[in-house]
Amino acid sequence: MSHSTVPRTSAEAGTTVESPVASDDVTGAREARRGPGKLGFRLRFRRDRTLLLMTLPAIVLVLVFNYLPILGNVVAFQDYDPYVSDNGIVAMLHSPFVGLANFQEIFGDSAFWNAVQNTFVLFFVQLLLFFPIPILLALLINSVVRPRVRAVAQAVLYLPHFFSWVLVIAVFQQMFGGAGMLAQLLRQHGYNGIDIMTDPHTFPLLVTAQSVWKDAGWGIIVFLAALASVSQDLYEAAAMDGAGRWRRMWHVTLPALRPVVALLLVLRVGDALTVGFEQILLQRDAVGPDAGEVLDTFVWWNGVHNQDFGYAAAAGLIKGVVSIGLVLAANKVAHLLGEQGVYKK
């Protein structure tokens, strides 16, 4: 986040210290940081300690569950046997190092490349077919004026988000499976039944359809919030200038959504290699790993299922490194387009 938050915070904290940093201009802030008006660490600490205290639990959680486990990546360079000593952590000290052998093996493993390919295919299909839908839904909901209709519509759209994947897939199986409603309906009318659930060729579409049904409604929340913050004055002014419904959407609504869309897009790209673990794991066998294996299930299969933890950790590490690259790249693109992105230097 930019430096402009600092003086605002100090004002909120009720201190009387004046800060020279009052500009949104980043270069200005940088100069100010170096300049004579910079606050000493102790002073800043005293000023912000309440806030720091409040963030402490979150920081501890992040440290324990996000940062500490990073150390475990060391097993990617080992022939790791979690059972050689009393517990899995001590076992890291007793497992032999094998250098880059795991990585060498992975890069020669066609199953891995197959998983990478499937992951990217799923990501692009979902980006094209899933990402725009919450935006459209948000615009639709936003155009509903009567509050009661709106509340009911929202509730109906949000609900599937709270179903577990097992349930969602079971429902899809009942509808579109080989003995499902659709297949039986076709058969009763003299056609051949179809089984959408086990067809590897349409698997990306199936998975995306499930995601849309389950989560598209939930995804509109952020966009609705962005839409709510658009000043009504802008609409009125545009209407006064003779802008019709579509013109108002093009010139007022969509520009208002642009920063949010850019932010979510950056986040989504950074998460590109994560395409729905549980959902896919449940259906992996139905279409076979050729179509249904993604990076996350590859890691699961080799690590948890086959107990080849070093190999799985190596695959996970590759995924992590590539993901960082993707976030940085997407963020850069967002900056080039004049948006905030996830963070700024």
Partner 1 sequence: MPLLAACGGSESGSGGGTTSGKNAKKILPAYVASNVVTPDIPAKNGSAMGFTGKLDVATLKSSVPKKLGKGGKVTIMSPFWGSPPKQSCAYYTAANAMIGVDVQWQNQDGNTYDQKLGAVLASSDIPDVVVIPGWNMTGRIPSAIAGKFADLGPYLSGDKAKEYPNLAAIPSDAWQRSIFGGALRGLPQPTESAANIVPLYRRDIFDKEGYEVPKSADDFMALCKEITNPRAKRWACGDMKWTAFNNFGVFSGAEKPLGWNLVDGKLVYRIETPEYLEALEFARKLMAAGYVHPQFKLGKSQIGDPAPLFAKGEFLIWNNNLVNWYGQQASQAAQNPDFKVWGMDIWNHDGGNPTLWAANPAGIFAFVNKKASESVIRDVLAVANVTAAPYGTKEWMMTNYGVEGTHYTIKNGVPVKNDTGNNEVVNAYVMVASPAPTIAHPDFPDVTRAMVEWEQRMGAFTRKSSFWGLQVAEPNRYTNLSDNFEQLEDDIVRGHKKISDMQQAVSDWKKRGGDKLRDWYKKLLDENGSAAS
Our finding on whether 297 is near partner 1 (CB under 8 A) is no
DSSP letter assigned to residue 40: P
> What mask of x and - would describe binding to partner 1 in positions 141 to 170, judged by CB under 8 A?
-------------------------x--xx
Bridge partners, residue 97, by sequence = 78
Our finding on whether 65 is near partner 1 (CB under 8 A) is no
Please select the residue that binds partner 1; options are 48, 195, 215, 339, rule is CB under 8 A.
195
Tokens read off for 14 = 């009720």
Our finding on whether 248 is near partner 1 (CB under 8 A) is no
Which span (58-66, 67-75, 128-136, 175-183) binds partner 1, by CB under 8 A?
Answer: 175-183
Q: In 3-state terms, what secondary structure has residue 97?
A: strand
CA–CA separation, 213 vs 345, rounded Å? 38
Q: Name the residue nearer to partner 1 (CB basis): 62 or 90.
A: 90
- Site size toward partner 1 (CB under 8 A) is 43
CA–CA separation, 259 vs 256, rounded Å? 7
Q: Name the residue nearer to partner 1 (CB basis): 202 or 340.
A: 202
DSSP letter string over 291-310? HH--HHHHHHIIIIIT--HH
Q: How many angstroms separate the Cα of 146 from the Cα of each of 137, 153, 245, 290?
A: 16, 11, 18, 49
Q: What are φ and ψ of residue 54, in 5° steps?
A: -70, -30
Our finding on whether 84 is near partner 1 (CB under 8 A) is yes
In the numeric block, the tokens 């155009």 are attached to: 143
Our finding on whether 179 is near partner 1 (CB under 8 A) is yes
Our finding on whether 279 is near partner 1 (CB under 8 A) is no
DSSP letter assigned to residue 331: H
> What mask of x and - would describe binding to partner 1 in positions 308 to 337, judged by CB under 8 A?
x-----------------------------
Contact set with partner 1 (CB under 8 A):
81-84, 86-88, 90-91, 111, 166, 169-170, 173, 177-180, 183-184, 187-188, 193, 195, 197-198, 200, 281-291, 304-308
